[in-house]
C-alpha cells in the first residue's frame, strides 16, 4: 500500500535514509560521502522540509504497517540565471527514492515512481529530473528502465 507521509512513520523514514547512506558509503569509490553523527536525526527532517516548502510530496510504501520504501520530490523554483540560458518548463525533482533491501525486486520502486510521476503531472510539470550517484549502477539501470536518460555529467578530480 502506498500512502502520503504521516509523522508517525518518521523513524522508519530515518531507518531507510540511513540504509541508503550506508549503501552509498560502500560503493563510493571517491570516499567523499560520510554518515555524519547527526545524519539520522536531521536528514529526514531536511528532506521533508525541502519537499513541503517546494510544492512536493513524500509517499511511503507500507508492508505490515512498516515503511519498506519511500519517494520524495519537489518542484524547485528556477533561479534568475536559469532563465538566461535554459528553456524553463515546470519540472519535478525526485529527491529520494529508497526501497529496503528486503523489498527490492518486487516492483515497489516502479510503483513509487509512478505515484510521484502522477503527482507531478497533476501539478503541470513537463519534466522530471533525478540526480543519481554515478557509482550506483543499480539505480541508474532502474531509472533507465523507467524511461529516464542521462542529460548531464558531473566531472570530478581529486587534487593533492
DSSP bridge partners of 96: 72
Least confident of 3-12, 32-41, 56-65, 84-93: 84-93
Is residue 62, in this structure, part of any structural domain at all? yes
Position 101 in a domain: yes
CA nearest to 12, candidates 33, 40, 37: 40
What cell was used for 81? Answer: 540565471
Domain CATH for 17: 3.40.630.30
Residue 79: pLDDT over 90: no
Residue 155 lies in a domain: no
Q: What does residue 138 show for φ and ψ, rounded to 5 degrees?
A: -65, -45
Tens of pLDDT, residue by residue over 95-133, are 999 999 989 889 999 999 999 999 999 999 999 999 998
Domain assignment present for residue 31? The answer is yes
The mean pLDDT of 12-22, rounded to a whole number, is: 95
Query: Is 158 within the bounds of a domain?
Result: no
Domain count, the chain: 1
Position 151 in a domain: no
Domain span at residue 31?
A: 2-145
Per the model's pLDDT, the better-predicted residue between 158 and 30 turns out to be 30
**Residue 10 within any structural domain of the chain:** yes
Q: Is residue 116 part of a domain?
A: yes
Q: What is the pLDDT of residues 82-101, one digit of tens each?
A: 777 777 788 999 999 999 99
Amino acid at each position: 500500500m502506498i500512502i502520503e507521509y504521516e509523522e508517525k512513520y518518521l523513524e522508519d523514514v530515518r531507518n531507510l535514509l540511513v540504509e541508503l547512506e550506508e549503501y552509498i558509503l560502500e560503493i563510493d569509490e571517491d570516499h567523499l560521502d560520510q554518515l555524519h553523527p547527526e545524519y539520522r536525526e536531521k536528514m529526514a527532517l531536511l528532506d521533508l522540509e525541502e519537499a513541503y516548502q517546494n510544492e512536493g510530496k513524500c509517499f511511503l510504501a507500507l508492508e505490515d504497517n512498516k515503511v519498506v520504501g519511500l519517494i520524495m520530490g519537489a518542484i524547485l523554483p528556477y533561479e534568475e540565471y536559469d532563465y538566461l540560458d535554459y528553456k524553463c518548463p515546470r519540472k519535478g525533482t525526485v529527491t529520494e527514492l529508497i526501497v529496503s533491501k528486503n523489498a527490492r525486486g518486487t516492483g515497489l520502486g516502479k510503483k513509487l515512481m509512478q505515484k510521484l510521476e502522477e503527482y507531478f503531472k497533476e501539478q503541470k510539470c513537463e519534466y522530471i529530473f533525478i540526480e543519481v550517484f554515478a557509482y550506483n549502477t543499480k539505480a541508474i539501470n532502474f531509472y533507465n528502465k523507467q524511461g529516464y536518460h542521462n542529460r548531464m555529467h558531473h566531472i570530478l578530480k581529486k587534487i593533492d
